[in-house]
Amino acid sequence: MKAPGRIVAEVLQLLREHVRPGVTTMQLNNLAERQAAKFKAIPAFKGYSGYPFSLCCSVNEQVVHGMPSDRTLLEGDIVSIDFGVIFDGFYGDGAVTLAVGSVSDNAARLIRVTEESLYKAIAKATPENRLSDISHAVQEHAELNGFSVVRDFVGHGIGRSLHESPQVPNFGRPNQGIKLKPGMVLAIEPMINEHGASVMVLEDGWTATTTDGGLSAHFEHTVAITKNGPEILTVL
């Protein structure tokens, strides 16, 4: 699974370099598609349960599953980009939230804390721990910093399918759930809101937003549990 993971990392890195004021989210989607084709990888989201695009682009109050469009990114926006591929029968999945130009101090802090919560969770992905140790690490760090954890969407197992068991919530008490074992691969993905945790899905059936209009950030890595600890597969 290192191969699809690296392809996801390559595409996300390219998108990082193109996120700026004036770019549309559809341009980012098309760029991701072209780059995946260069690697002979299949975009994992396009056609999944009827989703029509290769990329999820969630702007500002959008939490996850934002649909690419002619919407132009503006100075001060934040945008969460979620991308996955299928390569040689296996899946990779990753996400990053990026500042568009100069953003507010609280938006920058939300992005930073969400990414920190991801790495605190990954540190718990070891064979001596249980599933909820990952979940608790996200919730603890987010809430200590005054933010809220989305409960309606969670991380997941990943392998020959995009979504496999177990679900990986971003909240919960520690030392609960299944024991983690070498060979498991998890998509760990904190979704953290600026204000309340409540979300709603728009009429398009996909785009989830905060109900209070606050910002939301999302980071994700595909992580293998090994006898020596966690190994992040969606990195360069």
Hey, where are the domains in the chain?
Answer: 2-232
Q: What is the pLDDT of residue 198?
A: 98
Alpha carbons 30 and 155: distance in angstroms, whole number: 25
Across 182-194, b (16+ Cβ under 10 Å) vs e yields eebbbbbbbbbbb
Tens digit of each residue's pLDDT (9 = 90 or more) over 86-117: 999 999 999 999 999 999 999 999 999 999 99
Per-residue confidence (pLDDT) for residue 100, from 0 to 100 = 98
Residue 97: alpha-carbon gap to chain centroid: 8
pLDDT at position 3, please? 98
Q: With a cut of 50, which residues of the chain have pLDDT below it? A: none
Asked if residues 94 and 12 have their Cβ atoms less than 8 Å apart, the reply is yes
151-156 CB contacts, 8 Å cutoff, 24+ apart:
151/197, 152/199, 152/208, 153/63, 153/64, 153/191, 153/199, 153/208, 154/189, 155/186, 155/187, 155/188, 155/189, 155/220, 156/186, 156/187
**Is the separation of the CB atoms in 210 and 195 below 8 Å?**
yes
* Per-residue pLDDT at 24: 98
Q: For the domain 2-232, what is the CATH code?
A: 3.90.230.10
pLDDT of residue 232: 98
| pLDDT of res. 139 | 98
Edge-to-edge strand list for the sheet holding 191-193: 148-149, 191-193, 216-218
SS3 for 56?
A: strand
pLDDT of residue 167: 98
CA distances from 168 to 127, 135, 138, 233 (A): 16, 7, 11, 17
d(CA 205, CA 93): 21
C-alpha span between 234 and 236 (Å, rounded):
7
